[in-house]
């Protein structure tokens, strides 16, 4: 379900969002080019080009950012 929601968010009018994980981490997705979605895996490129790969089952919520500021 989370994978499909992310796919929906990155197609048809992208808006920045934040992925919240079960361990408390957050991943900002400021632009379409910073995220890739597989069948059950999500990859987010973070600050300093750090690649974060995680199992989508650990996503607890996906929050659309109300403003366009990134780099929380």
Q: Is residue 55 part of a domain?
A: yes
Q: Is residue 40 part of a domain?
A: yes
Q: Is residue 72 part of a domain?
A: no
Determine the pLDDT at residue 68.
53
The rounded distance, in Å, linking the Cα atoms of 55 and 38 is: 10
What's the chain's average pLDDT?
89
Determine the pLDDT at residue 13.
86
The rounded distance, in Å, linking the Cα atoms of 65 and 68 is: 7
Question: Using an 8 Å Cβ cutoff, are 14 and 33 in contact?
Answer: no
- Domain limits for position 10: 2-64
Q: Between 72 and 48, name the one with better pLDDT.
A: 48
Q: How many domains does the chain have?
A: 1
Rounded to two decimals, the pTM is 0.84
How many CB atoms lie under 10 A from the CB of residue 59?
19
Please say whether the dihedral angle defined by the alpha carbons of residues 63, 64, 65 and 71, taken in this order, is positive or negative: positive
């Amino acid at each position: 379900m989370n994978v499909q929601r992310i796919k929906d968010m990155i197609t048809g009018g992208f808006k920045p969002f934040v992925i919240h994980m079960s361990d408390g981490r957050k991943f900002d997705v400021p632009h379409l080019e910073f995220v890739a979605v597989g069948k059950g895996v999500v990859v987010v490129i973070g600050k300093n080009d750090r690649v974060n790969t995680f199992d989508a089952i650990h996503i607890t919520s996906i929050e659309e950012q109300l403003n366009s500021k990134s780099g929380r």
